[in-house]
């Protein structure tokens, strides 16, 4: 009987986690497709476009944004708007322990890994929920050379 109770409790926890993951829509209070024009411009600063960014994309940093996610320190957080709508967020980080922490965050937030690859000290894992996709990339190496990016994005944007 005790085993059955533990099994049921485990199933409830998994169902709750899956329901929470399915509800993931955006990042830090901004839902995907949040309108750039509706945000307080004093809270955001525009970033210089980087090579390879999609057409019609603008990136911003939130002033005073805590550079931590679930206790993991990140180097920067960029909010990416396409045609004035939030479509993705980049979290750049360094260090293997931060990679492990962000990977654990993704598993907690989005569920199991949907695809992964490791080759030549590069690791990539992806996650999917109905509204949000996540891709975490890490290039291992010497402490000064290891870097990574957690890319969160609207799945609607892909279609």
pLDDT given for residue 7 in this prediction: 31
Write down the mean pLDDT value for the chain.
Answer: 83
pLDDT given for residue 54 in this prediction: 74
pLDDT given for residue 158 in this prediction: 65
pLDDT given for residue 18 in this prediction: 43
pLDDT tens digits for range 93-103: 999 999 999 99
Judge whether residue 149 has pLDDT over 60.
yes
pLDDT given for residue 62 in this prediction: 94
pLDDT-based confidence at residue 115 (cuts at 50, 70, 90): very high
**Least confidently predicted of 40-54, 112-126, 127-141:** 40-54
Query: Cβ distance 21 to 109 under 8 Å?
Result: yes
CB neighbour class for 41 (10 Å; exposed up to 12, middle 13-18, buried from 19): exposed
**Which residues contact residue 53 at a Cβ distance below 8 angstroms, ignoring those fewer than 6 apart?**
59, 80
pLDDT given for residue 13 in this prediction: 39
pLDDT-based confidence at residue 3 (cuts at 50, 70, 90): very low
Could you tell me the residue ranges of all domains in the chain? 2-158
CA-CA-CA-CA torsion sign (28, 92, 158, 123): negative
């Amino acid at each position: 009987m005790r085993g059955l109770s533990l099994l049921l409790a485990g199933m409830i926890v998994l169902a709750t986690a899956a329901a929470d993951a399915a509800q993931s829509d955006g990042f830090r209070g901004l839902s995907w497709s949040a309108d750039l024009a509706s945000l307080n411009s004093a809270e955001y600063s525009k970033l210089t476009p980087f090579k390879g960014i999609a057409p019609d994309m603008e990136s911003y940093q939130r002033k005073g944004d805590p550079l931590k996610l679930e206790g993991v320190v990140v180097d920067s957080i960029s909010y990416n708007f396409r045609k004035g709508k939030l479509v993705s967020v980049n979290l750049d980080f360094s260090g293997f322990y931060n990679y492990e922490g962000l990977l654990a965050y993704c598993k907690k937030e989005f569920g199991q890994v949907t695809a992964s690859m490791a080759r030549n000290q590069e690791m990539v894992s992806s996650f999917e929920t109905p509204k949000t996709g996540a891709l975490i990339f890490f290039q291992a190496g010497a402490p000064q050379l290891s870097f990574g990016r957690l890319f969160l994005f609207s799945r609607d944007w892909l279609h």
